Amino acid sequence: MEKQQQSELGTEPIGKLLFKLAVPCICAQLVNMLYNIVDRIFIGNIPNIGSDALTGVGVTFPVIMLISAFSALIGMGGGPRASIAMGEKRNDDAEKILTNCFVALIAIALVLTVFFSVFNEPLLLKFGANEDTIGYASDYLSIYVLGTVFVQISLGMNGFITAQGKAGYAMATVCIGAIINIILDPILILGFDMGVKGAAIATVCSQMISAIWVLVFFNSKHTILRLRKKYAKIQPKILMPCIALGLSPFVMQSTESLLSITFNVSLLKYGGKTAVGAMTIITSLSQILSLPLMGLSQGGQPILGYNYGACNTQRMKKIVKLTATTAITFSTLFWIATLTIPYQMASLFNSEDAALLEKTVWAMKIYFAVGFVFGVQNTFQQSFVALGEAKISLFLALLRKIILLIPLILILPNFFEDKVFAVFLAEPIADFLAASTTTTFFVIRFKQILKQTEQKRELRSKNGE
């Protein structure tokens, strides 16, 4: 059965296979998005305090992103390496990767829990909280960090479920937790009048159930790869290549944290808490764009990684082309929506504060001005991860946010009378430049990889492998 499951990655029609793997991943990301968005919808509509509570929870976003970034460092670095090992028929090595990564995730969770519990309020004040919002931010984060170990297991290990082509089970990991979260949110936030504390408790409970589901899967008959006690001792030669490859998705997510801080601090300085509140809503909306694209890339990664390991260049080209076309189509449709129905999108998060809605709609048109390029940037950058190209994927992850966007946020206000406009303008400029550079790098490097892979396949054929 294991051989049959693996062979599907190398033989099943690309379109059908991508649909089978990507749709569950996209659904999982959409449901995962609800984790954060449903919280914010309920919090933003709490009578009388909704705007301040929503802004306070938005300030915690950098910490939440950083916690999930560490799960990506291990899971999204180890998952593709496991796929490549499976493509090369080295399942024992794939299980070494799996088990080493699991131990690393637990260790990271313990360190992060202690750190963010100790430095809760000082960090939030530096991240854009003020006297009106710090109480809400601190209440939410102090509870949320207690579930860090569940986040690391559910998100980090879920990458290894997808790496086996088990996208349906990976989707279930997220869906189970999200459904519980959606059920608990109105009960705890409104029914028990617990406010932001209720939202945090609901999230931790849902993450715990997701983590349990993942652990059950890796001890079931449905998994190809298993956690092995004999591989539980961390081996640098096993773990470090995973970390090297995972640096790219880690940087993408952790710099999202730094980016959020830079946006919040600059907007608080130039536009006050209303501008920060608008950014909180825009961040939520941008997840509606970025998370499905991430799900699409995750669905394509095991196909690309497996066929790269198997030296099947024709299937490599087909999966990249299909993934890119789908991503560009989706990002273009989302971009059109931000231009035509911005008020309807923004009002989901707060329908009472007219000033906040007006600022958000205005800012959306600037922030998403070139939203159609997101599909290109995401697909090609994540394809480098699937191909094991750690250095290039890391550079491209740094390019958009660290090299371009954050400096632009700090520099552009010096050249515009409307400082808030300048801050939001940094986003489309960085997006266009990053997408152009990523596309150029990918076209050049992918041709080289295909040529090298063809040569490797011919050598294997001569040796009778």
* Nearest Cα residue to 10 out of 319, 297, 226, 221: 319
Residue 82 contacts residue 156 (beta carbons within 8 Å): no
Mean per-residue pLDDT over the chain, rounded: 85
Q: Is 1 helix (H, G, I), strand (E, B) or coil?
A: coil
Q: What is the DSSP letter of 222?
A: T
Task: Tell me what percent of the chain is helix, strand and coil, each rounded to the nearest 5.
Answer: 85, 0, 15
> Residue 21 above 80 pLDDT?
no
- Tens-digit pLDDT profile for residues 61-95: 788 888 988 998 998 888 888 887 887 788 888 89
> Residue 8 above 50 pLDDT?
yes
Q: What is the DSSP letter of 227?
A: -
pLDDT of residue 262: 87
> Residue 253 above 60 pLDDT?
yes
> Residue 375 above 50 pLDDT?
yes
Cβ neighbours of 298 (radius 10 Å): 28
pLDDT of residue 29: 66
Q: Which residues contact 81 (CB under 8 A, 6 or more apart)?
A: 97, 241, 242, 245, 388
- C-alpha span between 263 and 257 (Å, rounded): 10
Across residues 328-346, what is the average pLDDT?
A: 90
Q: Which residues contact 394 (CB under 8 A, 6 or more apart)?
A: 247, 248, 251
pLDDT of residue 96: 92
- C-alpha span between 392 and 398 (Å, rounded): 10
Across residues 266-285, what is the average pLDDT?
A: 86
Which residue reads 């000082």 in tokens? Answer: 122
Considering only the C-alpha atoms of the chain, give the largest distance between any 2 of them, rounded to a whole number of Å. Answer: 74
> Residue 30 above 80 pLDDT?
no
Length of the chain: 465
Share of the chain above pLDDT 70, in %: 94
| DSSP letter string, 37-74 | HHHHHHHHTSTTTHHHHHHHHHHTHHHHHHHHHHHHHH
Across residues 457-461, what is the average pLDDT?
A: 79
Structure tokens at 294: 């991430």
CA count, 13 A, side-chain hemisphere, 204 = 18
pLDDT of residue 226: 86
Which residue reads 């931000």 in tokens? Answer: 338
Across residues 446-450, what is the average pLDDT?
A: 91
Burial of 49 by CB count in 10 Å (0-12 exposed, 13-18 middle, 19+ buried)? middle
Q: How far is CA 137 from CA 64, 134, 199, 269, 415, in A?
A: 12, 5, 12, 19, 33
> Residue 36 above 80 pLDDT?
no
- Tens-digit pLDDT profile for residues 117-162: 999 888 888 877 778 888 888 999 999 999 999 999 998 998 888 7
- C-alpha span between 155 and 157 (Å, rounded): 6
pLDDT of residue 1: 45
Cα 156–Cα 382–Cα 148 angle in degrees, nearest 5: 20
Q: What are phi and psi for residue 394, nearest 5 degrees?
A: -65, -45
Pick the more confident residue, 325 or 12. 325
- Per-residue pLDDT band for 404 (boundaries 50, 70, 90) equals very high
* Nearest Cα residue to 71 out of 27, 22, 104: 104
> Residue 5 above 60 pLDDT?
no
- Per-residue pLDDT band for 166 (boundaries 50, 70, 90) equals confident
Report the amino acid identity of residue 375.
G
Residue 91 contacts residue 171 (beta carbons within 8 Å): no
- C-alpha span between 249 and 28 (Å, rounded): 18
pLDDT of residue 437: 94
- C-alpha span between 178 and 207 (Å, rounded): 8
- C-alpha span between 124 and 59 (Å, rounded): 7
- C-alpha span between 248 and 438 (Å, rounded): 13
Residue 136 contacts residue 53 (beta carbons within 8 Å): yes
> Residue 424 above 50 pLDDT?
yes
Rank 102-111, 241-250, 335-344 by mean pLDDT and report only the highest.
102-111
Q: Which residues of 68-97 are buried (b: 16+ CB within 10 A; e: fewer)?
A: bbbbbbbbbbbbbbbbbbbbeeebebbbbb
pLDDT of residue 173: 83
pLDDT of residue 354: 82
Across residues 19-47, what is the average pLDDT?
A: 71
Q: Is 370 helix (H, G, I), strand (E, B) or coil?
A: coil
Q: How far is CA 166 from CA 39, 73, 159, 370, in A?
A: 29, 21, 10, 34
- Tens-digit pLDDT profile for residues 169-178: 877 887 888 8
Q: What is the DSSP letter of 152?
A: I
- Helices and strands in the chain: count of H runs, count of E runs: 19, 0
- C-alpha span between 296 and 293 (Å, rounded): 5
pLDDT of residue 464: 64
Low-confidence winner among 46-50, 192-196, 198-202 (lowest mean pLDDT): 46-50
Across residues 378-386, what is the average pLDDT?
A: 84
Q: Which residues contact 188 (CB under 8 A, 6 or more apart)?
A: 194, 197, 198, 199, 201, 202
Report the amino acid identity of residue 105.
L
